[in-house]
Chains A and B, each alone.
Chain A
């Protein structure tokens, strides 16, 4: 008993230490953002007085109103397209049999590991030729293309987990496959769909390289791109840059804290298991 109590204590101490390591840099950034804009900081220190002025200044100087709007537009569009396309494709891959079904699934699955690093060069020149750089489409379409891989993989796993009796019963009643999908299966698949929505939102919100390559005008810049530009311009203003970093991190972090179970389930199980 005693040895197990010692073990328990060690466990908690170790876990506390690692939590501290994970969170300390973020607390440092948060504290830095509470100092007056432009203040010269040396190391981590508590602000003299609590003020959100730096957030206000950074928001207007960095144009974060517009940046966040662009990011929301892109993320919502990618999530919407990915969700619909992945549900229909996952449904077919998970419940139907047709020639080459496995081959087609594996082809789509490769997208899970294809990095944007390998695609940006050809994507940029194709979009440039089509006159579509500096547009939201240049961000929405490629990201939808890559997200579909995970989405299809994830929804297929869900559809396979549903007892076939459910759709059989509806089929006997004369329901079409389309109707079975949206009336019977999608409603019970809400938790799986939510996980997919959250992950795709996070990936899209955080994407940097594609935006860096595709976007050069102010109107279509996304938040991470704006943060990087803000840092190059106001690098010495540590409080200001920290506040800007908080803006970019906030939407995903808030969602994560509220819905962490869904995040963890997707990120831990949803990786390479094909």
Chain B
């Protein structure tokens, strides 16, 4: 894409040096934005990397420990299990919604639906809600006296009733389901919009070639949705890796440490237990991980095109 953009720019030199139009004025235009970005994003990143090299309680002077915080983060069972929990959440936040979204899209790809706008508005609604609102709402849904247990009793599955978020075996999947609820709508809306842009002629061509529904899906629908897939994948995986708000509001990482994720560890270590250096190291690992994933996913799509 970069190459394509560059090509376009050469063909149409937009800011051709015109009288009274020095291009260096561009620096002046980006200066304010860049200054704010540098001070409040770049500087904290560097600062965070620096802090991560110290053992520091946030109050007394820190002690230089080099890369020890990273070393112990990688060997610390608490950090490891937090990242494992994140991985489980990725299944619920990303894999499941994308699979459901793709399945439904394949099922619906032939029908051009009318009146989809209203449906889209509703399905997409969880995307705009504050995560805190979502957490508060679902905490009640999962309550021992809440609607989910009520529903189970009503359909004769009362034996399954339990405090979903307080149970050691169900807490993490229960948090995951909240994520599934949030991101499924996003995937569905993305894919359904994408599939409408695939020319019908491609489906006809596949049919002429004698392709069954399965081959049609892999030969036409999936390649046609490559961009949407990349967007859905990056957004949902990033949401899963962050997921601080929902967990803070619903479980605070418990029961025990069953639902503790890296973002929660950062908060606890930096502001509760006085392990600021370790928190900064986990933050740096998370930042690099998310950056690498986004770049990787985008690259994957670009190269295949």
Mark A residues whose CB is within 8 Å of B: 4, 7-8, 10-12, 14-16, 18-19, 21-23, 25-26, 28-29, 32, 40-44, 81, 84-86, 88-89, 91-98, 101-102, 104, 107-108, 110-115, 117-126, 141-142, 144-146, 148-149, 152, 164, 168, 171, 174, 176-177, 202, 205-206, 208-209, 212-213, 224, 227-228, 231, 238, 241-242, 244-245, 248-249, 252-253, 256-257, 260, 263-264, 267-268, 271-274
Q: How far is the CA of A146 from the CA of B43 in the complex (A)?
A: 12
Contacts of B122 in A (CB 8 A): 19, 22-23
Assess whether A97 is in contact with B37, with CB atoms less than 8 Å apart: no
Q: A19-B119, A85-B36, A119-B41 are in contact. Are A110 and B291 (CB under 8 A)?
A: yes
B185 within 8 A of A: yes
* Per-position 1/0 for B276-305, Cβ under 8 A of A: 100110011011001100100110000000
Contacts of B279 in A (CB 8 A): 121
Contacts of A92 in B (CB 8 A): 25-27, 29-30
How many of chain B's residues have a CB under 8 angstroms from any CB in A? Answer: 106
- Which of B87-95, B163-171, B204-212, B263-271 lies on the face that meets chain A? B263-271
Assess whether B25 is in contact with A96, with CB atoms less than 8 Å apart: yes
Contacts of B132 in A (CB 8 A): 206, 208, 224, 227-228, 248
Classify the secondary structure of A's interface with B. Answer: helix
Would you list the 8 A-B pairs with minimal beta carbon distance, nearest first?
Answer: A43-B150, A145-B40, A118-B287, A92-B29, A89-B33, A206-B130, A96-B26, A122-B47
Assess whether A248 is in contact with B130, with CB atoms less than 8 Å apart: yes
Give the residue among A91, A117, A212 with the most B Cβ atoms within 10 A: A117
Assess whether B23 is in contact with A113, with CB atoms less than 8 Å apart: no
Assess whether A205 is in contact with B123, with CB atoms less than 8 Å apart: no
Assess whether A119 is in contact with B45, with CB atoms less than 8 Å apart: yes
Contacts of A104 in B (CB 8 A): 30, 34
Classify the secondary structure of B's interface with A. Answer: helix
Assess whether A115 is in contact with B286, with CB atoms less than 8 Å apart: yes
Assess whether A208 is in contact with B36, with CB atoms less than 8 Å apart: no
Assess whether B133 is in contact with A245, with CB atoms less than 8 Å apart: yes
Assess whether A89 is in contact with B34, with CB atoms less than 8 Å apart: yes
Assess whether B30 is in contact with A88, with CB atoms less than 8 Å apart: yes
- Which of B72-80, B214-222, B231-239 lies on the face that meets chain A? B231-239
Instruction: Report the minimal beta-carbon distance from B275 to chain A, rounded to whole angstroms.
Output: 10
Assess whether A264 is in contact with B27, with CB atoms less than 8 Å apart: no
Assess whether B36 is in contact with A144, with CB atoms less than 8 Å apart: yes
Measured CB to CB, the nearest residue on chain B to A23 is B122
